[in-house]
Amino acid sequence: MPIYLRKIAIAVTTVLLITACSHSWHHKVGFLGTTPSRELTLVSFTVTRRAYDRIIPLFTEQWREEQGESIVINRSYGPSGPRTRAIIDGLPADVVALPIAADVTQLEQEGLVDPGWEDELPHGAIVHQSLPVLMTRSGNPKQLQSWADLAQPNLSIVLTNPKTSGVARWIFMALWGSVLQQQGTAEDALTYVHQVYGNAPLLARDAREAADAFVNRGQGDVLINYEQEAILAQRAGEGLPYVLPSPNIAMGSSVAVVDVNVDRHGNRDIAEAFCQFLFTAPAQQIFAEAGFRPIEPTVASAFSADFPQVEELYSIEDLGGWDFAGEQFFQAGAMFDQMQAGLAKP
Amino acid sequence: MTWPWRITWLYLSVMLLLPVAALVAKAFSLSPGEIWGIATDPIALSTYKVTLTIALAAAVTNGIAGLAIAWVLMRYRFPGRALLDAALDLPLALPAAVTGLTLVTVYGDRGWLGSLLLPLGIQLSYGRLGVYMAMLFVSLPFVVRAVQPVLAGLDRSLEEAAAGLGAAPGRRFRKVLLPLLLPATLTGVALGFARAVGEYGAVVLIASNLPFKDLIAAVLIMQKLEQYDIAGATVLGLVMLLFALVILWAINLLQARNQPMRGDMGGGQARTTLTSHLHQPGLGWQTFGIKRFFLLGSVLVYLALVLIVPTANLFFQALRGGLGPFLAILGQREFLTALRLTLGIAAIAVFLNSAFGLCAAWAITHRQTRNLPQPSRLSSLLLSLIDLPLSVSPVVAGVMIVLLYGRGGWFSPWLEAGQIRIVFAWPGLVLATAFVTLPFVVREVLPVWQAIHPSQEEAARSLGAGDSLGSLLSNRSIFQRLTLPQVRSSLGYGMVLTYGRAIGEFGAVMVVSGSIIGKTQTLSLYIEDAYQNYETQSAFIAAMLLACLTLAAVGLRAWFGRHQA
C-alpha cells in the first residue's frame, strides 16, 4: 500500500477512534451494566431557552429527592414551525412547549397528542403569556403610541413573516384585532393591515432576525416584538423605549405531553410531573424573571410592577380561534398571500 | 458491467435517486392542476426569475474574476499567497447561517463596507444587490478551483512558441490560453451557478425577503416547509431541480464535445507537472509590467470585497471579547459534544464519498471496457446527476431524507418494526451530509483521469505490470502503481472540500437533526442556537473555530503532498 494511502487511512481511523472512544466514555455507565438513567426530551421554541435551562435542573433535583431516581432531560430549542414539523416527522419529543396552540393542534391532528390536552393542565395548558409591544428609536421620534399610528405613510416597520414565525402570526392577529376590538369592520381591518405591511422594508424570518435588523442594522422606525425581549434588553441597559398599546392580545404559550412518544419511551410519569411542575411557583418565578407574564396568581401579583396591566386585553378566541385564523389568513393563497401579491405588484 | 459501475449506480441509487424519487412522488400526490397552479403562481414565477438571473450574474462575475484569481495565484508570487489560496475554500466550509451573519455585519447599513457605500446611495443589504453579494461569496471557489489545475499543467512552451512567433500578450491570451482554459472555466461557472441557485442560509439574512423584490426560490421553499406545506415545497423544489439539471446537462454536454482537446492538453499536463518546477516565472515579469500590477491589484480588491473583509470580520467579531469567552466556549460540554459529532459525521461522509468518487470517476474514464450506447451522453447525464446535490437547496435535501426515513416515510414500517432510528439520529445526519457533499471527490478526480491518455495504462500493461498473477491482479497493480498515484493530489483536495462542506452543512442537517443538545446538535446547529439566544459572541467564536478547522485541513493536505513528492 502506498505511503500516502496509509497516512490517509491512519488519519481517518484516528478520527473515528477518537469519536467512538469519547462516545462510549460518555455512556460508560450504560456499558458497565448499570441501567442507564431514564430520559425525557423537551422541545420548545427559541426564546424560552433562558427559562427552561434554569427550570430543568430544579425539576430533576426535585424528582431525585422525591422518587430517588436521577433522570436526564434532553432539550431541543428552535423556531416553532420547523420544530412542530420535526415532531410530526418523528423527532422523539416527550413534552412540547409551543408559542401557539395551533401548533399543538397540528400534533393532535397527526394523532401524536390525544384530544383534550388543554384540560389536562391548569389554565387551559397555557403556561405563560406575553404581549406584543412597539419598540421605537430612543425618544420615540415618530411619536408612536397606538396601533393606529402604524398605518401612517412614510413610516418604516420591521415585521416578521407570519408564514414562518409563530410570533408573527400573533402580531398579525394583534394588528387585525386592534381594528375589530374597536368596533371596526373586517373591511377596515383589511385596509389597515394593508397599510401596515406596506410600510415594511423587510419581512424577517423570525423574531430574532427582526430584532437584529432593527437594533443592530438600523432598519425601520419601529419593531413589533415580544414584551419579554423588550424587558430583557432594558434590564441589560441597552434597551430602546417601548410602548404597550391597548387593546392588546394575550399571547399564550401551550405545553402538552406527546402521548404517542411517552408511551413508547415509558416516561409518561416524568412527562406529566414535569408539565405540572411548570405551573408551580418556583417555575413560574423563573418564567417571570425571563420576562414572560406568569400565569400563576401569587407569582403574577409579586411581579405586577414588571408587567403593567393593559386596559383592554383579549384572546385569540375573541377573533375566532386559530383554526379560523389559519384558514382565513395564513393558508397558501389565503389573505396574507393575496395581500403580499397586491402590495408588491408595480 | 464492471464492479466500479455497479458500486457507482448502487451508491447513487441509495444516496441520490431514491431521495429524488421520494420528492417526485410527494409532489405528484397533488393533481396536475394543483401542481401547475403552485409552479406558476405569480410569486413563484418571480422567485424563479430573481433566483436564476442573480445566480447567473454572480456565476458569470465569478467566472471572469475566478479566471483572474487563478492566474494570479498560479503565476504570481506575493506575500500571503498561500494563505489566500487556502482561504478560498472558506465559502464552502462556513455554515450558511454564519455566512449570512458575517455578510450582513459587513454589508449592512452599519457594516464596515455597507456604511461606506450608503452615502453614495448604494444599499448593499436588503435588496437584490445583497442577494448578489451573498451568491458571489458562496460561488467564489468553483471557477478558481476548476482553472487552477489546468493552469498548473499547462505546457509553457505553447506560450513561449506564441511569443516567439511575435504574438502580443493580449493575443497570446485570447488565442492560446483562453481556448485551453475555457472548458474548466465553464465547469466552474456551472458549479458556481448551481450552488448559487440552491443557496438559502447566506441569502435569507441579507435579503428583505419581500416577494417580487428579492425573494428567492430557496427562501420561498423554506417558507412553505415551515407552514407544513410539504407538497407545495416539493413542487417548487422539483421545478428548481429541473432547471438545474437542464443547465448542468447542457454544460456537461458542451464539455464532452471538448474532450478530445482536453485529452491532448492533458498529455501535456502529465509531462509538464513533472517539469514545471524547472520553469521560472520569468516570462511574466518581463512581458507584463504595469498590467501585471494592475491585474494583481484588481484581483486583490475583488477578493477583499467578497472574501477577505467578511472573513476578517468573522475573526474580529469572535476575538473582540478577548480570550476569556474563547476559552469558556472551548470548555463548554455542549460545544464539545457538537464538535465531536460534527467531526465524526464528516469523517464518515468523507470516507463514503471518497470511495464512491474513485469508483465513479474510474468507471466514467474506463468506459472502453463496456459496451454501452453513446457513452459520452450517458456519462454526461451521470455527471449532471452527480452535480445535482450542489444545486438542490440543502433544505430540500433534508426533506427528501425525511420523506424516506421519517415517520410516515417510505421505509418507516420496516424501521419501526426494527426499532431503528435514522432521522433525528446520527445515521440521518450522515445521509444528509453525504448527500450534499457527493460531487466533490468525483469532480476533482475525474478531470485528471480524463486528461491521462489510456496509452499510459496500456504501456504499463505491455511492460508486464503484474503479468504473472492473472489479469485481475494485473489491473490492480496498474491501479495502485499508476492510476491511483496520478490522482492523489486531487483526491486529497476533493476530500478536503468534502470535509469542509460536511463540517459546515446547515440546511439539510437542520431538517434531519432535531437539534437535541448534546445528542444530535452539530456545530453549525450549535452556532445557530447561540445566535438565536443572543449569544452572538459564542456564535462567532464557534464559527471561527469551524473556519480554522477547514484551514487546518487545507494545511494538512499540503503536508501530505510535501511528504509524498
Cβ <8 Å between A78 and B205: no
- Can you say how many angstroms the Cα of residue B275 is from the centroid of all Cα atoms in its chain? 30
In chain B, which residues have their Cβ closer than 8 Å to the Cβ of A106?
228
The nearest alpha carbon in chain A to B532 belongs to A208
The answer, for B427 touching chain A at a CB cutoff of 8 Å, is no
Residue B268 has pLDDT above 70, yes or no: no
Find out whether A131 and A293 touch, Cβ atoms under 8 Å.
yes
The pLDDT assigned to B285 comes to 43
Find out whether B296 and B178 touch, Cβ atoms under 8 Å.
no
In a domain, B14, yes or no: no
The pLDDT assigned to A297 comes to 94
In a domain, B466, yes or no: yes
Of the candidate ranges A95-99, A175-179, B76-80, B346-350, the one whose mean pLDDT is the lowest = B76-80
Instruction: Write the residue in B126, B406, B408 that is nearest to A202 by C-beta.
Output: B126
Band (pLDDT 50/70/90 cuts) for residue B464 is: low
Residue with the bigger pLDDT between A31 and B198: it is: B198
Residue B535: exposed, middle, or buried by beta-carbon count in 10 A (0-12, 13-18, 19+)? middle
In a domain, B10, yes or no: no
User: CA-to-CA distance for B218 and B42, rounded, in angstroms?
Assistant: 16
The mean pLDDT value for A170-185 works out to 92
The pLDDT assigned to B250 comes to 82
The pLDDT assigned to B344 comes to 95
Percent of chain A with pLDDT over 70: 88
Which residue segment(s) compose the domain that B291 sits in? 31-365+376-564
Residue with the bigger pLDDT between B214 and A54: it is: A54
The pLDDT assigned to B241 comes to 86
Q: What is the pLDDT of residues A284-307, one digit of tens each?
A: 999 999 999 999 999 999 999 989
Residues A12-23 as b/e (b if ≥16 CB within 10 A, e otherwise) read beebeeebeeee
The mean pLDDT value for A232-255 works out to 86
Find out whether B37 and B155 touch, Cβ atoms under 8 Å.
no
The answer, for B350 touching chain A at a CB cutoff of 8 Å, is yes
Cβ <8 Å between A203 and B208: yes
Of the candidate ranges A109-118, A188-197, A309-318, B181-190, the one whose mean pLDDT is the lowest = B181-190
> Inter-axis angle of helices B42-75 and B178-198, to 10 degrees?
140
In a domain, B146, yes or no: yes
Percent of chain B with pLDDT over 70: 85
Counted domains in chain B? 1
In chain B, which residues have their Cβ closer than 8 Å to the Cβ of A82?
225-226, 510-511
- Each as own residue / partner, the long-range contacts of residues B320-327 (CB below 8 Å, 24 or more positions apart, any chain) are B320/B537, B321/B537, B325/B537, B325/B538, B325/B541, B326/B541
C-alpha cell of A28?
Answer: 460508560
In chain B, which residues have their Cβ closer than 8 Å to the Cβ of A26?
337
Q: Which of residues 83-142 of B touch A (CB under 8 A)?
A: 104, 108-111, 125-126
In chain B, which residues have their Cβ closer than 8 Å to the Cβ of A346?
212
The pLDDT assigned to B282 comes to 41
Q: What is the pLDDT of residues B298-344, one digit of tens each?
A: 999 999 999 999 999 999 989 988 888 888 888 889 999 999 999 99
Q: Which of residues 25-54 of B touch A (CB under 8 A)?
A: 38, 42-43
Per DSSP, what are the bridge partners of residue A343?
none
The pLDDT assigned to A11 comes to 64
In chain A, which residues have their Cβ closer than 8 Å to the Cβ of B408?
89
In a domain, B23, yes or no: no
Residue B141 has pLDDT above 50, yes or no: yes
The pLDDT assigned to B369 comes to 46
The pLDDT assigned to B353 comes to 95
Count interface pairs A-B at CB distance under 8 A.
165
Residue B284: exposed, middle, or buried by beta-carbon count in 10 A (0-12, 13-18, 19+)? middle
B46–chain A nearest CA distance, Å: 11
In chain B, which residues have their Cβ closer than 8 Å to the Cβ of A205?
204, 209
Per DSSP, what are the bridge partners of residue A203?
A159
The pLDDT assigned to B372 comes to 46
Among A316, A34, A90, residue whose Cα is nearest residue B520: A90
Q: What is the pLDDT of residues B197-222, one digit of tens each?
A: 888 888 888 888 888 888 999 888 88
Residue with the bigger pLDDT between A51 and A15: it is: A51
The nearest alpha carbon in chain B to A4 belongs to B564
Cβ <8 Å between B226 and A7: no
Residue with the bigger pLDDT between B279 and B142: it is: B142
Cβ <8 Å between A201 and B208: yes
The pLDDT assigned to B158 comes to 79
Cβ <8 Å between A22 and B484: no
In a domain, B3, yes or no: no
Q: Which of residues 366-395 of B touch A (CB under 8 A)?
A: none
The pLDDT assigned to B280 comes to 39
Cβ <8 Å between B43 and A217: no
The pLDDT assigned to A33 comes to 45
Instruction: Write the residue in A16, A22, A209 that is nearest to B205 by C-beta.
Output: A209
The nearest alpha carbon in chain A to B338 belongs to A19
Find out whether B104 and B137 touch, Cβ atoms under 8 Å.
no
Find out whether B332 and B535 touch, Cβ atoms under 8 Å.
no
The mean pLDDT value for B411-423 works out to 88
Cβ <8 Å between B515 and A77: yes
The mean pLDDT value for A320-346 works out to 83
In chain B, which residues have their Cβ closer than 8 Å to the Cβ of A86?
424, 511, 514
In a domain, B25, yes or no: no
Instruction: Write the residue in A18, A26, A203 that is nearest to B210 by C-beta.
Output: A203
Find out whether B255 and B187 touch, Cβ atoms under 8 Å.
yes
Among A285, A265, A280, A274, residue whose Cα is nearest residue A63: A274
Q: What is the pLDDT of residues B108-140, one digit of tens each?
A: 888 888 888 888 888 888 889 999 999 999 999
Of the candidate ranges A126-140, B377-391, B427-441, the one whose mean pLDDT is the lowest = B377-391
pTM of the model: 0.84
Cβ <8 Å between B533 and A50: yes
Helix (H) or strand (E) holding B535: none
Cβ <8 Å between B350 and A12: yes
The mean pLDDT value for A102-115 works out to 93
Band (pLDDT 50/70/90 cuts) for residue B45 is: very high
The nearest alpha carbon in chain B to A346 belongs to B212
In chain A, which residues have their Cβ closer than 8 Å to the Cβ of B488?
2, 4
User: CA-to-CA distance for B343 and B179, rounded, in angstroms?
Assistant: 41
The mean pLDDT value for A155-174 works out to 88
Instruction: Write the residue in B104, B485, B511 that is nearest to A2 by C-beta.
Output: B485
Band (pLDDT 50/70/90 cuts) for residue B261 is: very low
Band (pLDDT 50/70/90 cuts) for residue A31 is: very low
The mean pLDDT value for B368-389 works out to 67
Of the candidate ranges A217-231, B153-167, B534-548, the one whose mean pLDDT is the lowest = B153-167
The pLDDT assigned to B463 comes to 67
- Can you say how many angstroms the Cα of residue B136 is from the centroid of all Cα atoms in its chain? 13
The mean pLDDT value for B25-49 works out to 91
Residue B267 has pLDDT above 50, yes or no: no
The pLDDT assigned to B302 comes to 94
Band (pLDDT 50/70/90 cuts) for residue B374 is: very low
User: CA-to-CA distance for A27 and A252, rounded, in angstroms?
Assistant: 38
The pLDDT assigned to A26 comes to 45
The pLDDT assigned to B320 comes to 87
Q: How many helices (H) and strands (E) does chain B have?
A: 32, 0
The mean pLDDT value for A138-159 works out to 91
Find out whether B63 and B70 touch, Cβ atoms under 8 Å.
no
Question: In this structure, what is the dihedral angle of CA atoms A325, A330, A334, A339, given to the nearest 10 degrees?
Answer: 110
SS3 A263: helix
The pLDDT assigned to A63 comes to 96
Cβ <8 Å between A82 and B226: yes
The pLDDT assigned to B276 comes to 35
The pLDDT assigned to B62 comes to 95
Instruction: Write the residue in B38, B108, B126 that is nearest to A201 by C-beta.
Output: B126
The pLDDT assigned to A230 comes to 85
Find out whether B405 and B412 touch, Cβ atoms under 8 Å.
yes
Per DSSP, what are the bridge partners of residue A43?
A76, A96
DSSP 8-state symbol, B329: H
Instruction: Write the residue in B111, B347, B514 that is nearest to A12 by C-beta.
Output: B347
Q: What are chain A's domains? A: 39-129+251-302 (3.40.190.10), 132-249+315-344 (3.40.190.10)
Cβ <8 Å between A2 and B104: no
The pLDDT assigned to B167 comes to 77
- Can you say how many angstroms the Cα of residue A314 is from the centroid of all Cα atoms in its chain? 19
The pLDDT assigned to B265 comes to 39
Q: What is the pLDDT of residues B220-234, one digit of tens each?
A: 888 888 777 888 889
Cβ <8 Å between B343 and A161: no
Band (pLDDT 50/70/90 cuts) for residue B472 is: very low
Band (pLDDT 50/70/90 cuts) for residue B180 is: confident
Phi first, then psi: give them for residue B226, nearest 5 degrees. Answer: -70, -15
Find out whether A136 and A241 touch, Cβ atoms under 8 Å.
yes
| Full DSSP string of A233-247 | HHHTT----EE--SS
In chain B, which residues have their Cβ closer than 8 Å to the Cβ of A76?
514-517, 521
The mean pLDDT value for A253-264 works out to 95
The mean pLDDT value for B72-76 works out to 87
Band (pLDDT 50/70/90 cuts) for residue A345 is: low
The pLDDT assigned to B390 comes to 81
Can you give the length of chain B in residues? 565
Half-sphere exposure of B264 (CA within 13 A, CB side): 6
Cβ <8 Å between B516 and A22: no
The pLDDT assigned to A25 comes to 44
User: CA-to-CA distance for B26 and B378, rounded, in angstroms?
Assistant: 27
The mean pLDDT value for B80-87 works out to 85
CATH number of the domain enclosing B308: 1.10.3720.10
Whether a cis peptide bond, with omega within 30° of 0, leads into B454 is no
Find out whether A206 and A272 touch, Cβ atoms under 8 Å.
no
Residue A29 has pLDDT above 50, yes or no: no
Cβ <8 Å between A90 and B212: no
The pLDDT assigned to B408 comes to 85
The pLDDT assigned to A32 comes to 44
> Inter-axis angle of helices B333-365 and B484-504, to 10 degrees?
140
The pLDDT assigned to A187 comes to 92
Residue with the bigger pLDDT between A344 and B286: it is: A344
Residue B5 has pLDDT above 70, yes or no: yes
Band (pLDDT 50/70/90 cuts) for residue A44 is: very high
DSSP 8-state symbol, A254: E
In a domain, B117, yes or no: yes
Which of B230, B424, B486 would you mutate first to test chain A, the one with the most A CBs within 10 A?
Answer: B424
The mean pLDDT value for A110-136 works out to 94
